[in-house]
């Protein structure tokens, strides 16, 4: 796919969109997970705080102590990550995990049973998620106000978030790959109508169809309709141009007939050389007029053009075998009987006649005509055993008026006209050095299927 490929652009844009969307989704999921973990941590801290408060008692000396300590081993391990402390009657009771550190509770004005949540600094400088509650002890414990707090190291919560993110990443990558593959399949299916448009255009070029039609998705129908309208306009223009060319060619015929009449009068007066010159010029012009008439007809009937190569070649050879240039030559023909090209019989006769006549005129004793299918084209090769043409002059031989032998008869238009007509039909003409002689390669489109 090229950088200008619509498929590539859609695929790259879609892949980038998928990656961005999944990155945003990952950030959102991580945020929700973090909030969920924090809520669970607060719920656990609240339960731990209830356990701490339920264990408050007075000893025989009237001192407040904690008779039932929380069972979590982190409370008993120095810097264990889970901490509790109680401020009552000017004394500080705390878990062994705090060691000699005090959680710096802010000054709060809490009602009895009121609870606050803080982010405070821990014993090792870490951040603590802290739940603080203010209570008044019952009458049996002296109705004394007390502040109790339980805290957890936020590093544990962040570690849980990191673990979650690392577990989530492979699944996001798999999801991204699946989404991109699904998007690629969607693009392939979505762009399939454009492939059908390309195939229909190929059918139009080869003559198998005249219009794109309307059996396309709704979004493609306007394009197909516009192309069909353009094709209709082009056909109308070609038709008008063909008719104008035909009118122009017909318009030349009357003056040419008048010139031939003038040549006859000159001949009757004994001016043979002048009459011959006029007649030669008229014949050349008449040949051009006939060819233009043929091209005009071809432009009007191009889509249905079809002719059998073997039949046309045989017709050309029947004429050449009776000519002075071809009656003494050995003709070799190798053409499949069913081979057909997309051209009128007159057009192929024009091209084959010009090439074969040229080969007969310059060959020593042999001319071969071979035709083979070549994909969507038919290759017709005409080879002779004559002196050939210097390689540096091959390209100029298809220009009008060019002749390999200036002393020989001929106008130099045969190969040029054959080349132009072949290109008009969608093929081409190429001259190559033979072994010996000259090899002319004529290519024409394969004939459309018979209807």
The pLDDT tens digits for 72-94 are 898 889 888 899 999 988 888 98
Q: Which long-range contacts (CB under 8 A, 24 or more apart) does 427-435 make?
A: 427/377, 429/351, 429/355, 429/398, 431/389, 431/394, 431/395, 431/397, 431/398, 432/394, 433/388, 433/389, 433/391, 433/394, 434/383, 434/384, 434/385, 434/388
Nearest of 140, 119, 143 to residue 129 by alpha carbon = 119
| Confidence grade of residue 58 (pLDDT, cut at 50, 70, 90) | confident
Quick one: average pLDDT of 273-280?
Answer: 80
Cβ 147 vs Cβ 94: under 8 Å? no
For residue 101, which of 84, 117, 118 has the smallest C-alpha distance?
84
| CATH topology for the 301-451 domain | Heat Shock Protein 90 (3.30.565)
Separation between Cα atoms, residue 447 and residue 337, nearest integer Å: 14
H, E, C per residue of 142-197? CCCEEEEEEEEEHHHHHHHHHHHHHHHHHHHHHHHHHHHHHHHHHHHHHCHHHHHH
Q: Give CA–CA dist 93/104, Å, rounded.
A: 13
389-447 residue pLDDT tens: 777 777 666 554 444 444 444 445 677 778 888 888 888 888 888 878 888 999 999 88
Question: Which whole number is the average pLDDT over 96-105?
Answer: 89
Minimal CA–CA distance to 153: which of 46, 53, 45, 71? Answer: 45
**Residue 350 pLDDT > 60:** yes
Q: How confident is the model at residue 246 (pLDDT cuts 50, 70, 90)?
A: low
* 290-322 confidence digits (pLDDT tens): 666 666 655 555 556 789 999 999 999 998 888
Are 6-160 and 301-451 in the same CATH fold? Answer: no
pLDDT over threshold 70, residue 330: yes
What is the DSSP secondary structure assignment for residue 303, as one 8-state letter?
Answer: T
Could you tell me the pLDDT band of residue 199, with boundaries at 50, 70 and 90?
confident
Q: Is the pLDDT of residue 239 over 80?
A: no
In angstroms, rounded to a whole number, what is the distance separating the alpha carbons of residues 103 and 153?
Answer: 12
Provide the residue count of the chain.
Answer: 451
Domain ranges of the chain: 6-160, 207-295, 301-451
- Range with the lowest mean pLDDT among 25-34, 107-116, 257-266, 437-446? 257-266
Bridge partner list, 129: 119, 152
**Above 60 in pLDDT, residue 138?**
yes
| pLDDT for position 406 | 44
Instruction: Determine the topology of domain 6-160 in CATH.
Output: Beta-Lactamase (3.30.450)
The first and second tokens of residue 309, run together, are: 């190569």
Per-residue exposure over 270-293, b if at least 16 CB sit within 10 Å of its own CB, e if not? eeeeebeebbeebeeebeebebbb
Residue 211 has pLDDT above 90, yes or no: no
Strand partners, 112: none
Return the DSSP state at 91: E
Tell me which range, 197-206, 241-250, 361-370, is most confidently predicted by mean pLDDT: 361-370
Averaged pLDDT, 198-202: 84
């Amino acid at each position: 796919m090229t950088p200008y490929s619509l498929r590539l652009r859609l695929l790259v844009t879609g892949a980038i969109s998928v990656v961005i969307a999944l990155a945003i989704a990952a950030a959102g999921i991580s945020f929700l997970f973090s909030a969920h973990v924090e809520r669970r941590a607060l719920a656990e801290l609240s339960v731990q705080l209830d356990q701490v408060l339920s264990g408050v008692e007075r000893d025989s000396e009237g001192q407040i102590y904690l008779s039932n300590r929380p069972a979590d081993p982190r409370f008993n391990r120095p810097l264990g990550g889970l901490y509790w402390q109680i401020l009552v009657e000017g004394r500080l009771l705390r878990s062994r995990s705090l060691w000699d550190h005090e959680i710096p509770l802010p000054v709060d004005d809490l009602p009895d049973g009121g609870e606050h949540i803080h982010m405070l600094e821990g014993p090792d400088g870490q951040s603590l998620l802290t739940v603080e509650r203010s209570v008044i002890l019952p009458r049996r414990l002296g109705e004394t106000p007390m502040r109790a707090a339980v805290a957890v190291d936020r590093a544990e919560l962040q570690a849980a978030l990191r673990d979650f993110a690392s577990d989530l990443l492979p699944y996001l990558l798999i999801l991204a790959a699946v989404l991109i593959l699904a998007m690629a399949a969607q693009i392939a299916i979505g762009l399939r109508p454009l492939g059908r448009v390309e195939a229909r255009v190929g059918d139009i070029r080869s003559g198998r169809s005249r219009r794109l039609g309307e059996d396309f998705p709704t979004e493609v129908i306007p394009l197909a309709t516009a192309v069909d309208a353009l094709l209709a306009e082009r056909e109308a223009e070609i038709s008008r141009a063909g008719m104008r060319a035909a009118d122009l060619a017909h318009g030349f015929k009357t003056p040419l007939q008048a010139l031939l009449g003038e040549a006859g009068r000159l001949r009757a007066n004994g001016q043979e050389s002048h009459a011959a010159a006029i007649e030669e010029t008229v014949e050349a012009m008449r040949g051009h007029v006939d060819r233009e008439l043929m091209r005009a007809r071809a432009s009007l009937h191009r889509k249905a053009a079809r002719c059998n190569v073997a039949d046309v070649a045989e017709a050309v050879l029947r004429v050449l075998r009776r000519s002075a240039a071809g009656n003494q030559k050995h003709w070799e023909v190798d053409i499949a009987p069913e081979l057909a090209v997309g051209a009128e019989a007159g057009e192929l006769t024009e091209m084959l006649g010009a090439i074969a006549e040229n080969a007969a005129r310059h060959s020593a004793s042999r001319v071969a005509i071979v035709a083979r299918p070549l994909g969507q084209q038919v290759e017709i090769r005409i080879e002779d055993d004559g002196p050939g043409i210097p390689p540096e002059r091959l390209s100029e031989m298809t220009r009008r008026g060019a002749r390999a032998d200036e002393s020989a008869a001929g106008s130099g238009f045969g190969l040029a006209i054959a080349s132009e007509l072949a290109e008009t039909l969608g093929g081409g003409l190429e001259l190559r050095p033979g072994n010996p002689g000259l090899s002319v390669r004529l290519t024409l489109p394969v004939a459309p299927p018979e209807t």
